[in-house]
Amino acid sequence: MSVDTLRYYEKIGLLSPVARDSRGRRRYVARDLARLHFIQRAQRCDFSLDEIRVLLESRSCRDAARPEVARLTEQKLQDIRTRMADLDRLQQELGNLLQLCRGSDQGCPIIDGLDASAE
């Protein structure tokens, strides 16, 4: 992670201020590193920083937090399914435009197709 990212995480409270050595460099302990790894893994699962904040808060009372964490994860999964469906439609549209382009010897069917979609 970049220094700017670490500063930002401290600023928004995802990461507690970290001890510094005599030169002002951050000194991370195992707990800090575990929290940073948790944040990175959650980001790879496409959770937003606000959602990650909820997940981090849920780490201390896992049983009580289970329904909220499940709800967040279910919503995230639905969002991903929706994006995948959108990407499938986009793939079909671009494939169709490319086929029109390859079959045409005049103009540009891709530009024409994009102009038509704007109407």
Going from the first residue of the chain to its last (119 residues), give the mean pLDDT of each consecutive group of 10, the final group possibly shorter.
92 91 90 94 95 91 85 95 97 90 83 73
CATH number, residue 58? 1.10.1660.10
Range of the domain at 52: 3-118
Range list of H helices, 12-61: 30-44, 49-58
What confidence score (pLDDT) does residue 33 get? Answer: 93
What confidence score (pLDDT) does residue 118 get? Answer: 54
What confidence score (pLDDT) does residue 117 get? Answer: 60
| Overall domain count for the chain | 1
Range list of H helices, the chain: 3-11, 30-44, 49-58, 62-102, 109-118
